[in-house]
Structure 1
Amino acid sequence: MTDTTAAPDELEASIEVSTSPAQTWALVSDLRRMREWSPQVLRTFIPGGPVRLGSRMINVNHRGALVWPTTAKVVRFEPHTSVAFRVAENRTIWSFTLEPTDGGGTRIVQRREVPDGISTLSNTLVGVAMGGVPTFVGELRQGMRQTLERIKAELER
């Protein structure tokens, strides 16, 4: 497992799994299952059938007793390679990218990108309700590690 930071607000973590990109894709592209992996997600609703480019999402997230909804749209959907969604409320883009490894497995890279910056409203709420940006970013990093470890465990069981 590796954690890196591309820019101050961009986060990245990765893990290698023994399954092929096709097997890995079948799991990570099913965004309805995010609550099984992400410690922050309570529920994901995706109306209209299977996840695809343009799919809309409603997520219910939590931090302890604090619960909040977000909406998102799938902005990248490249089978066996990458799936990404943009969260409307904070303008972040969350993604999973799959890279084949030499041994026939897959490197899964999870990213949070902020190409348009994080919304003022989101930064204010994080400051007021979540202990500030550094604290929340630390929790996001830890959550990304947990997410990838849970995906790996599911794929390799």
Structure 2
Amino acid sequence: MILRMEREWVAEESIRIEAEPARVYAAVAELRRMGRWSPECFAVWTRRGLAEEGTRFVGFNRIGWRVWFTTGRVTAAVPGQVFAFRVSSFGIPVALWGYRLEDVGGGATRLTEYWEDLRRNHRGAALVSLLGRIFTGVAAGDRAALNRRGMRTTLERIKAACEGP
């Protein structure tokens, strides 16, 4: 008997950072720094430093020898509270990524990174999922687990940077 698990469309991970929300927000809202945090995104091109709602950007990603890009637009930018963006590929919405920040007192912040796969509601979803598998080597059903692992790495890197000098 083959047991097939339901595909996951959302994922999130959290970490406590011994730094004020403003400092943590500055780290996540500076899109050009994303290549330092993420194990998958190695560079971001944007005209702005600290992003605000509506900021557009191009993200360059890699897994092994595979390299691809996505286009993005910041959808929420509230200092000390939330930073989020949508990414598209070939003009088709792919995912919503974001960070929620919570002041937990004592100069500390709980940072939560979240992801939602937006392909399920688009008529081109099957094509984008196929292209995603070709370009990234990741089957759509494996994406949530891969993203969770990447989020843990990203959050640990942000923590180290924000808690450091």
Relative to structure 1, the CA distance from residue 50 to residue 104 in structure 2 (aligned partners, 3 Å threshold; closer, same or farther) is closer
Q: TM-score, structure 1 length as denominator?
A: 0.87
Tell me how far 1:106 sits from its aligned partner: 0.2
Structure 1: segments with no counterpart, 5+ residues? 1-6
Per-residue CA shift, 1:23-49, capped at 9, x if unaligned?
A: 111111111100001000121001245
Counterpart secondary structure, 2:155: helix
User: Equivalent residues in 2 for 1:1-157 (5 A)?
Assistant: 8-48=8-48, 50-89=50-89, 90-114=93-117, 117=120, 119-128=125-134, 130-157=137-164
**Amino acid of the structure 1 residue aligned with 2:131:** L
**Amino acid of the structure 2 residue aligned with 1:93:** L
Distance in 1 (CA, whole Å) between partners of 2:85 and 2:101 is: 15
Counterpart secondary structure, 2:120: coil
Counterpart secondary structure, 2:94: coil
Relative to structure 1, the CA distance from residue 135 to residue 18 in structure 2 (aligned partners, 3 Å threshold; closer, same or farther) is same
Identify which range, 140-149 or 7-16, moves more after superposition: 7-16
Query: Does structure 2 retain, via aligned residues, the 8 Å contact 1:91–1:117?
Result: no
**Amino acid of the structure 1 residue aligned with 2:154:** T
Query: Does structure 2 retain, via aligned residues, the 8 Å contact 1:37–1:151?
Result: yes
- State the 4+ residue runs in structure 1 displaced beyond 6 angstroms: none
The count of residues paired between Structure 1 and Structure 2 equals: 151
Tell me how far 1:116 sits from its aligned partner: 6.3
Counterpart secondary structure, 1:19: coil
**Amino acid of the structure 1 residue aligned with 2:28:** V
Counterpart secondary structure, 1:47: coil
